[in-house]
Structure 1
Amino acid sequence: MNFILKSISFIFHPIMMPLIGVIFYFSKSPRFLPMDIIQAKLVSLFILTILLPILLYFLLKSIGSTSSIYLKSTKERIFPLILNAIIVLLIIIRVLPINEIIELYFFFLGILISTLSCFLLAVLKFKVSIHMMAVSGVFMFFLALSIHFSININGSLAIMAVLMGAIATSRLHLKAHTYPELIIGFFIGLMPQLILVNYWL
C-alpha cells in the first residue's frame, strides 16, 4: 500500500496536469484544427511544462535551493513557483494566445493565478498542496468543457474525482500535508478555473 500511494504522488505529479488537460481538450473538442498545429502545440507544451521544469529542478537542486521534487518546505517552493509562473506566462503569450484557442488560454490563465496564489502563501509560510491544486484545476476545466461543448464525459469526471481522492489520501499517508493544506490547495486550483469560465463558456 505504501508503494502504491507513493506511486500515485509520483505519477500524477503537478507538472503532468496541464498537459493532461490540453490532451483531453484536443481529444474532445468538436472544432477542427489541423493535426500539424495540434502536434506543434503538444510538443511545445511538453517541453515547457514537463522537460523545462525538470531541468530547472535539477539546476535548483545542484545549487542547494531545493532538496526534493515534492518541495517539502515553503522556502523550497518560492523559486520553483516563480519559475513556473514565468513558464505559464510564456505559454499564454507565445503558445496559446487568446486569439487562437480561447479555452486553453483561460485554462492556463487559471493555472497562472493558482500558481501565484500558492507563491504568495509560501511567502507567508503556509504550504498548500500543489498536487491538489493541479488536479482540482484540471477537474474544473473538464467540467466546464463538458458544459461548453455539450458532451457527456461523466466517466472522465468520475475518474478525476477518484484521482483527487487518491492523491489526497496519498499526500496524507505520506505525511506531506495536513487536511487544511489539502482543502486550501483544492480551492486554489478550482476557483480560478471556475471564475474564468465566465469569460469563455
Structure 2
Amino acid sequence: MNAILRSISFIFHPIIMPLVGVIFYFTKSPRYLPLDIIQAKVVSLFILTILLPILIYMLLKSVGKTSSIYLQTTNERIIPLFINAIIVLLIILKVLPSNEIIELYFFFLGILVSTLSCFILAIMQIKASIHMMAVSGVFMFFLALSIHFSININGSLAFMALLTGAIATSRLHLQAHSVPELVIGLFIGFIPQLILINYWM
C-alpha cells in the first residue's frame, strides 16, 4: 500500500497536470483546429511545463536550494513557485493568447492565480498542497468544459474525483501534508478556475 500511495504522488506530480488539461481539451473540444497547430501547442507546453521545470529543479538542487521534487518546506517552494509563475505568464502571452483558444487562455490564467497564491502563502510560511492545487484546478476545468460544450464526460469526472481523493490520501499517508494544508491547496486550485469561468462560458 505504501508503494502504491507513493507512486500516486509521483505519477500525478503537479507539473504534469496543466498538460493533462490541455490534452483533454484538444480531445474533447468540438471546435476544429488544424492538427499541426495542436501538435505545436502540445510540444511547446510539454517543454515549458515539464522539461523546463525539471531542468530548473535540477539546477536548484545542485546549488542546494531544494532537496526533493516535492518541495517539502515553505522556503524550498519560494524560488520554484516564482519561476513557475513566470513560465505560466510566458505561456499566456506567447503560447495561448486570449485571441486564439480562449478556454485554455483562462485555464492558464487560473493556474497563474493559483501559483501566485501558493507563492504568497509560502512567503508567509504557510504550506499549501501543490498536488491538491493542481488536481483540483484541472478537475474544475474538466467540469467547466462538460458544461460549456454540453458533452458527457461523466467517466472522466468520476476518475478525477477518485484521483483527487487518492492524491489527498497519498499526501496524508506520506505525512507530506496535514488536512488543513490539503484543504488550502484544494481551494486555491479550484476557486480561480471557478471565478474565471464567467469570462469564457
Tell me if TM exceeds 0.5.
Answer: yes
TM bracket, shorter-chain basis:
over 0.9
| Deviation of the 1:132 alpha carbon | 0.2
- 2:158 alignment partner in structure 1: 158
- 1:111 alignment partner in structure 2: 111
Residues 113-135 of structure 1: per-residue CA shift (max 9 Å, x gap): 00000000000001000000000
Amino acid aligned to 2:172: L
- 2:89 alignment partner in structure 1: 89
Instruction: Tell me the TM-score normalized by structure 1.
Output: 1.00
Structural mapping, 1:44-123, within 5 Å: 44-123=44-123
Amino acid aligned to 2:19: L
Structural mapping, 1:111-150, within 5 Å: 111-150=111-150
| Deviation of the 1:157 alpha carbon | 0.2
Residues 128-168 of structure 1: per-residue CA shift (max 9 Å, x gap): 00000000000000000000000010100000000000000
Amino acid aligned to 1:198: N
Distance 2:196 2:123 in 1: 25
Amino acid aligned to 2:191: M
| Deviation of the 1:104 alpha carbon | 0.1
Residues 47-91 of structure 1: per-residue CA shift (max 9 Å, x gap): 000000000000000111100000000000000000000000000
Instruction: Tell me the TM-score normalized by structure 2.
Output: 1.00
Amino acid aligned to 2:67: S
Distance 1:172 1:195 in 2: 28
User: RMSD of the alignment, in Å?
Assistant: 0.3
Count how many residue pairs are aligned between Structure 1 and Structure 2.
201
Distance 2:100 2:148 in 1: 17
Amino acid aligned to 1:151: I
Residues 171-197 of structure 1: per-residue CA shift (max 9 Å, x gap): 000000000000010000000000000
Distance 1:156 1:184 in 2: 24
Amino acid aligned to 1:196: L
Structure 2: segments with no counterpart, 5+ residues: none
- 2:185 alignment partner in structure 1: 185
Distance 1:178 1:12 in 2: 19
- 1:168 alignment partner in structure 2: 168
SS in 2 for 1:120: helix
Structure 1: segments with no counterpart, 5+ residues: none
Distance 2:49 2:119 in 1: 17
Distance 1:4 1:126 in 2: 28
